[in-house]
Amino acid sequence: MIHRVLAADLPSHVGRTVRLAGWLHRRRELKSVSFLVVRDRSGLAQVVLREPVPYPEETVLEITGTVVANPQAPGGAELAAEVRPRPGGPGRAPDRAPGGGPERSRTPAAGPAIEVLSEAVQAPPFDLYRPAVPAALPTVLDHAPAALRHPRLRAPFEIAAAGVAGFRAALDGLGFTETHTPKIVGTATESGANVFGLDYFGRPAFLAQSPQFYKQALVGVFERVYEVGPVFRAEPHDTARHLAQYTSLDAELGFVRDHRDVMAVLREALAGMHASAAGGAGAALSLLGIALPEVPEEIPAIHFADAQELISRHTGEDPRGEPDLAPAHERWLGAWALREHGSEFLFVTGYPMIKRPFYTHPDPERPEFSRSFDLLFRGLELVTGGQRLHRYADYLAALAARGEDPEAYTGYLAAFACGMPPHGGFAIGLERWTARLTGAANIRQATLFPRDLHRLSP
């Protein structure tokens, strides 16, 4: 059987007979010649042949022909195919299209030049071959299996896949162990709200909102762990940034001095994601016209209190006393970091304890502030993390201070009772990272099959 060659590899096979396989991305029929664009996982290839091709777009084809140099074709080469070669006889050299390259070649007749592997019986919801996506988001989402075939709609997921690979590679290199933890849990402890309930063999259970408790417990086992997996939020808000399921890139590490060691690891993870995207999803980045932002060797950091000072000094507003940053102030800080530090990333550290979960480690010198951080990317929060409490007694005190019953946390607290090092971690929302990087206005553009308040299929 003649070797299959991917579209992107055609240029290195000029003069040879090869087999191309993929989807009929587009066809144009001229009087005596057909131009096809065939799409496969590597990209697009042009095919010319001298007879009409009576199949609709998205039909799956195998085409045998000769690779011919053509400066006008993608990558500088195209496939010259024949239809119905004479049985037993030599193949006929295909006519060249006007403007085609100089080379001609005689192909041995090895069988029919075009084989239909499966004919499309339904048109996609919009023309997949148009460079821009000619459809609104709901149409794309309703018809995701077909719509995602559009190269621009597929591209973010190639970037996401490369990013995750870079996340893992960076953490593997730092001695982390990958883990897989339960997504069905018995208590909705981290936050009672926004949790999906479940019938678990007749008992109530919940979908995990994060692997927080498990990754902390596993610091006691592996010291450094990460998990890439789904988390679930029963978000009752229908916004451009909420999903009922998203992919969380979670990491947690022991034996830290404080949150700064966690920030240093996050910097490495992010740099790994960006390097991997640049290397593994270069075509997708080019297609979307994205220049990857540089992750500085040291990401600038500002304390929450200093950030509020700065904002009150330079804007007409005075946010001091507020326990959190307003979105407009995050944007202001993002612009400030770019101006002052040349960085699209900025750490804001030391958020007030009152806004952080009970396991957050306070700043011993200013106990109203925490050893936590947010990482802003272009003025928007991308990652949250920090140092956690690690002493059993501190957990009991923190729960008591919030009026919570430690009984509900027995399984969680067991890890701390048995000795846990100072530790901390962070969680990156994969879809959020991808959306921010690709400039997607809606996080659903960075989610293959989003789940939200209204959407449960496809």
Among 14, 137, 148, 264, binds its own copies (CB under 8 A): 148
Residue 199 makes contact with its own copies by CB under 8 A: yes
Region from 66-74, 92-100, 375-383, 450-458 binding its own copies, contact rule CB under 8 A: 450-458
Instruction: Tell me whether residue 235 is annotated as binding.
Output: yes
Stretch binding its own copies (CB under 8 A), from 194-202, 286-294, 330-338, 397-405: 194-202
| 218 in contact with its own copies (CB under 8 A) | yes
From CA 128, how far away is CA 150, in angstroms rounded? 5
388 labeled part of a ligand binding site: yes
Angle 356-321-403 (CA atoms, 0-180°, nearest 5)? 40
For the segment 345-384, give every residue that binds its own copies (CB under 8 A): none
Among 167, 232, 332, 369, binds its own copies (CB under 8 A): 232
The overall longest dimension of the chain from CA atoms, in Å, is 89
CB of 2 vs its own copies, minimal distance in Å: 13
| Closest distance to its own copies from the beta carbon of 106 (Å) | 27
A 10 A CB-CB count for 439 gives 12
Q: Count of CB atoms within 10 A of residue 444's CB? A: 24
> For residues 49 and 94, what is the distance between their CA atoms, to the nearest angstrom?
6
Which is nearer to its own copies, 102 or 457 (by Cβ)? 457
Q: Which of 5, 24, 49, 114 binds its own copies (CB under 8 A)?
A: 24
Distance CA 373, CA 240 (A): 24
The three-state DSSP-derived secondary structure of 102-139 is CCCCCCCCCCCCEEEEECCCCCCCCCCCCCCCCCCHHH
Piece in contact with its own copies (CB under 8 A), picked from 68-76, 265-273, 327-335, 420-428: 420-428
Q: How far is the CB of 445 from its own copies (least distance, A)?
A: 14
Contact with its own copies (CB under 8 A) among 203, 313, 339, 402: 203
- In angstroms, what is the minimal distance from the CB of 307 to its own copies? 29
Looking only at residues 35 through 74 of this chain, which bind its own copies when binding is defined by CB under 8 A? 40-42, 58-60
Q: Which residue has the tokens 């993870």?
A: 269
Is 203 annotated in a binding site? The answer is no
Quick check: 341 and 382 in contact, CB under 8 A?
no
65 annotated to a ligand binding site: no
Q: Which residues, 280 to 339, sit near its own copies by CB under 8 A?
A: none
The pairing of strands 224-232 and 17-29 is unpaired
Residue 297 annotated as part of some ligand binding site: no
| Of residues 255 and 439, the one with the C-beta less far from its own copies | 255
In the complex, least distance from residue 165 CB atom to its own copies, rounded to whole angstroms: 7
Single out the residue of 43, 160, 237, 126 nearest to residue 447, CA to CA: 160
> Do 352 and 323 touch, CB atoms closer than 8 A?
yes
Site for its own copies in 114-143 (CB under 8 A): 117-124, 143
Task: Select from 48, 371, 355, 303 the least CA-distant residue to 191.
Answer: 355
Q: Within 13 Å and on the Cβ side, how many CA atoms surround 385?
A: 30
Does the protein bind its own copies through residue 390 (CB under 8 A)?
yes
# residues contacting its own copies (CB under 8 A):
95
Question: How many Cα atoms sit within 13 Å of 351 on the Cβ side?
Answer: 20
Q: How far is the CB of 112 from its own copies (least distance, A)?
A: 17
Rounded CA-CA distance 231/362 in Å is: 26
User: Binding site: residue ranges?
Assistant: 190, 233-235, 241-243, 381, 384, 388, 429-432
